[in-house]
Amino acid sequence: MARNKVGMVYLVGAGPGDPELMTIKSRRLLSEADVVLFDRLLDPKMLDGIRAVKIDVGKNAGRHKLTQDGINQLLIEKAETGAVVVRLKGGDPYLFGRGGEEALALQERGIPFEVVPGVTSSIAAPELAGIPVTHRGVASSVTIVTGHEEPGKEAPLDWNAIAALGGTLVVLMGVSRLEKNVASLIKAGKSRDTPAAMVEKGGWKDQRMISGTLENIASLAQEKKIESPAILVVGDVVRLAEKLGKKRIAILRPAAQQKEAAAEALQYGFSPVMAPAIALSEKPLPIDLAERLGKVECVAFTSANGVRMALSSSDVLNSLKEKKIVAIGPKTMQALKELGLEAEVPEEYSSAGLERLLKGKCNGILFLRSAQGSRFLSDGLKAAGIYVDDIALYETVPSGDSRLDELIEMAKSVDIFAFTSSSTARFLVQRAKTLGLEKELYQAFADGTVAAIGLPTAEELSRLGVRVDVMPEKFTFEAMLAALKEKTG
């Protein structure tokens, strides 16, 4: 019987975690593969849409789906059926990925193979956390070792030699042995004051970093519950993260405002995590709107969303031409300007600020805004003797957005929570309760920085038991970003 034509095996590096960091060649090979053998530390999205048979051969410390010999044999068996096989490995195949062992096993059996390099986490994870592993005047060399050696290895790591080296030390796969490895470095003469950092899940959405020194990094990792995969970085380059690292900020605004808000966050040096907590449900305009407009001299808008909804009606737009229009915030003013309406903005977004603006000009004012909008502005005006009417243009409702669930699940990796309304706070906490992750979310609040755009939002957070760290003098998103930048550096 003629032997089947032997297939082809590709040993492919998938990079550190983010599917967008995969190479073009690796994506092409996945689309052409008949069989894919993949590792544990891969984002499932890397395998989306591929037609191949997918086999999970991932190994974890102490829990192996297959032994390495078993993986080697499976590669051979699949290739000998004539299949195109992709062995998809985290990072780079030949850097502590055991790709060399797989290549030798294939070669000995006469199976053709090709190695496709991948971005290694030993460089990418520190880099994404703001740590360059080499830097002029700081470190001109980098040493990469594994922190989890195979039992019974003939030539164990020489920590004395490693400690004597200059430059940067990167220790991969060393979470379970972190305390022992750090102690070995110190015993070998490395200063206890040497800067050190742990980067967890480098390249993933929930990447986070903790930093300290060799003396305390193990205790910090235990306190912050650092989990595998994580790498240890040792050396003076760790200090550069203070300038080059970006704080991760949760953007909780409605989906339509996410892109603009994220762009602003980037301009202020933050890394945005887009997670809409609320959506807007438009309400019909009341049939007596014209009559109510006739009773007032002034009309106030508290958001650009309200402007777009109310003025979609040409009748309403025309009726405002003779009114004094007030905009709470520059974005609201800009939305009105784009529709040909001039508006004034109070210097202070409070009832006192509005009263100063309206004094002698208006005896009555109509607010067009959210059904859940705070009444602290209108209540103060009523107390000052001004007639106030309110029309709800829309309701804020839970977003139902999967990105909010992702945020809650990875909350410990978020540095800043930016609340732009009372409802963003309320619905985020409600959703965390539903998912059974309320405790984890509140711990993230305690560990991170919480910002409120204004007094009503701050009051709601206080009611929810959340400490507010930052509230800008002007109640705008940009002012909040500026205040956060000043506080967090």
Give the active site residue among 59, 382, 474, 485: 59
The string of pLDDT tens digits covering residues 192-202 is 999 999 999 99
Q: Residue 249 and residue 23: Cα distance in Å, rounded?
A: 28
Q: Write the CA distances from 300 to 234, 251, 291, 323, integer angstroms.
A: 57, 26, 16, 10
Q: How far is CA 107 from CA 67, 114, 234, 405, in A?
A: 19, 11, 38, 46
Q: How far is CA 206 from CA 200, 230, 281, 288, in A?
A: 8, 12, 31, 50
pTM of the model: 0.81
65 is catalytic: no
Res 155: pLDDT: 60
pLDDT of residue 59: 58
447 annotated active-site:
no
Catalytic residue among 8, 18, 22, 39: 39
* Bigger pLDDT: 135 vs 392: 135
Check if 410 is active-site.
no
Catalytic: which of 8, 22, 46, 173? 173
Q: What pLDDT, on the 0 to 100 scale, is given for residue 231?
A: 95
The pLDDT, as a whole number, for residue 2 is 38
pLDDT of residue 381: 76
- 3-state per-residue secondary structure call for 280-297: EEECCCCCCHHHHHHCCC
Give the mean pLDDT of the chain. 90
Q: Is the pLDDT of residue 351 over 60?
A: no
Tell me 107's DSSP state.
H
